Structure 1
Amino acid sequence: MTAGLGAERVARTAGGTLILDGVCLAPKPGSVTGVLGPNGSGKSTLLRLLAGVLAPTAGVVTLDGEPLAGVGRREAARRIALVQQQSDTQVELTVADVVRLGRIPHRRAWSPASAADERAVRSALERSGLADRADRPWHTLSGGERQRVQIARALAQEPRELLLDEPTNHLDIQHQLELLDLVRSLDLTCVVALHDLNLAATYCDEVVVLRAGRVVTAGTPGAVLTEELVADVYGVRARITHPDPDCGPHIRFLGTV
């Protein structure tokens, strides 16, 4: 049996437009896989298919070798957590309230939180560095803190697979690094959609590059992120060096092609 989450030649059509076409993905358990590509390449759609939020038009998403559609929404939600791009709410919630939402897949409707639920919430807050902000109102947080709260909510689900859709968008450099340090430290299978190629090279074990809904190439950042690839996919000239073999390649952008 194939362990973990995978996509086998998945396609997705919306409004008559082909968004994804024959994409395969098989992240290694415990690894960080980056999904790269220009705007409109299908990164967000792929993550939503992997999470079961969307159904593929063709192909199949599997969980431990079984079609995700047959696993059941509640069971899938216990295994797979999705952190989407910046979210907001008008409801007056504290940080702890938001993190508690991650326990919904583990609770029966209208049932009160159990001791196990509260332990999971406390653990998620601590792992995310938010224990001292548990009672802070959500709307008073910075963008970086809100992203950490969303990751804490996902961790409270106690998933084995964590999907993150461009989690570093709108964050300053310090918060980008802190957030990806956190993701890197988790003992989970993580799939992360990223725009920043240098962050992908630093934090990802493998990357998958999409263009117009199709996989261009996949592999380690050192093998995949070449000057030719950046010019072909992104239309940008780049100089790529390998100053530190432990940190992946470094990309310096020189201008458009």
Structure 2
Amino acid sequence: MTSLQAQGLVRRVAGQVIVDGVTLALRPGETVGLLGPNGSGKSTLLRLLAGVLAPTAGVVTLDGRPLGDIGRRATARRVATVEQDAHTQTELTVRDVVALGRIPHRRAWTPATAADAAAVGAALERTGLTGRADQSWHTLSGGERQRTQIARALAQEPRELLLDEPTNHLDIQHQLDLLDLVAALPVTTVIALHDLNLAAMYCDRLLVLRDGRAVAEGTPAEVLTPALIEQVYGVRAEVTDEPGHPVIRFLRPATPAGRY
């Protein structure tokens, strides 16, 4: 089976290169982590993979077909995205938000079908939100809002799921709960993360970006080395091999002479 693939992607904005020649081939069912400092191109790459942005050069394909030939609505039936932050001034319930995921499956202005209701119900159950379905979106905690956005994405019934730093602003327990949920989903996942230890724990493979370019790709054990961390992030770290994944411990900068 083929899946979502990117070949030589370039994205320029006002003469500035944001993504520079990135290639990525996803394997069905795997979880790929996108790593890199702020401004490295992670969010832009996710939008290119989703077809929200068009590449300046290169191509994104889905099952071997360029996204431009497939069209946005058909792509959205296969590829779902979860952005960093979602806001709305409209008074919506959790069920209303999740039901937005069914839009790619319906013609404009047509009522919801039994299949739509079943998909929404399954997404609510999968994310543990059935009991909050009639609760206002505005009363949810940050972790609950993120779970609701994942439920909305699951209601699309995708085979590929793209998440842009979904653990931002969450406490440690909710970060782990959210990534446990994502890792258990029966989809191919690409997830942008800042926390290297979370990436090591939950991702099968990592792609590291710096200044829009891919500088490393491989398993967490292959990629997360002290040399790579210093090269990309400019910090020193110790990496130990724990059962199942590496563990990173960051080191404080050396104190300059004469300072206390």
1:35 maps to what in 2? Answer: 34
Q: Distance in 1 between matches of 2:136 and 2:195?
A: 31
Note if contact 1:95-1:133 (Cα within 8 Å) is conserved in structure 2. Answer: yes
Task: State the shift of 1:79 in Å.
Answer: 0.3
**Could you list the per-position Cα deviations for residues 165-222 of structure 1 after superposition, in whole angstroms to 9, with x for gaps in the alignment?**
0000000000000000000000100000000000000000000000000000100000
Task: State the shift of 1:243 in Å.
Answer: 2.0
In the alignment, residue 251 of structure 1 is paired with which amino acid? I
CA-atom RMSD in angstroms: 0.8
Task: State the shift of 1:73 in Å.
Answer: 1.1
1:139 maps to what in 2? Answer: 138
Task: State the shift of 1:86 in Å.
Answer: 1.2
Larger Rg: 2
Shift >6 Å, 4+ stretches: none
SS of the equivalent of 1:252 reads strand
Indicate whether 1:255 and 2:226 are aligned: no
Alignment of 1:17-166 (within 5 A): 17-166=16-165
**Could you list the per-position Cα deviations for residues 224-254 of structure 1 after superposition, in whole angstroms to 9, with x for gaps in the alignment?**
000000011000100100121x2x1000000
| Same amino acid, percent of matched pairs | 68
Q: Distance in 1 between matches of 2:157 and 2:129?
A: 17
In the alignment, residue 141 of structure 1 is paired with which amino acid? L
Q: Distance in 1 between matches of 2:113 and 2:28?
A: 30
Q: Give unmatched runs, 5+ long, in structure 1.
A: none
Q: Give unmatched runs, 5+ long, in structure 2.
A: 255-260
TM-score, reference length from structure 1: 0.98
In the alignment, residue 205 of structure 2 is paired with which amino acid? E
SS of the equivalent of 1:222 reads helix
**Could you list the per-position Cα deviations for residues 93-144 of structure 1 after superposition, in whole angstroms to 9, with x for gaps in the alignment?**
0000000000000001100000000000000000001010000000000000
Q: Distance in 2 between matches of 1:98 and 1:256?
A: 45
Note if contact 1:235-1:256 (Cα within 8 Å) is conserved in structure 2. Answer: no
Aligned length: 254
